[in-house]
Amino acid sequence: MTIYGYARVSTSDQDLSIQREALHKAGCELVREEKRSGTTLEGRQELDTLMAFMRSGDTLMVTRIDRLARSIGDLQDIVRKLKAKGISLRATEQPIDTSTAAGKAFLDMLGVFAEFETNLRRERQLEGIAKAKEAGVYKGRKPSIDVEKVKEMHQAGQGATAIAKALGIGRASVYRVLEGESVQDGLTRRTATYLQT
């Protein structure tokens, strides 16, 4: 029986050292870490690696249950997969141990609270954005696509695939920019024709 640790933070500027240390102290032979949002299971490659690697009798350990998932649905999916493989789940800071009835019940309660906390945070963010918009100070997210650069590269004869690769964006984004330009050009031509008649 092997104890594997899983540590997670949401953003690249957050530190994993406290979780890593706690998991090693708790007896984890191997700790996998990642900096990904806990609101989804998408792109959680380190967690996927652990799930594929662990065997019956092993234990997956986290410091707190919200390091594993922030939605009750995702948490239940993970627990179901672990149970099917005969793997138990434990947490260093919470009385969770899925090998006991009390531990399972506590896990379900914490999952509900983790999801509730996430939903509250989202509501507060939306309220803050609404207030900022009212005050005229909300700028929104910085655009991730340099529209002028896309147009410039297209005019230089580069195709959508080459532009997307060079700028690190999707081809669909390139097409949207170029379609917007052609729609605008079409409107300009139609307006000019209308004014001349």
Four-point Cα dihedral 104, 93, 31, 84, nearest 10:
0
Q: Which amino acid is at 139?
A: K
Find out whether 77 and 48 touch, Cβ atoms under 8 Å.
no
10, 17, 71, 99: the catalytic one is 10
For residue 6, list its beta bridge partners: 32
Q: Provide the 3-class DSSP secondary structure of residue 91.
A: strand
- Of the candidates 28, 103, 111, 15, the residue with the CA atom closest to the CA atom of residue 62: 28
10 noted as active-site residue: yes
Catalytic residues: 10
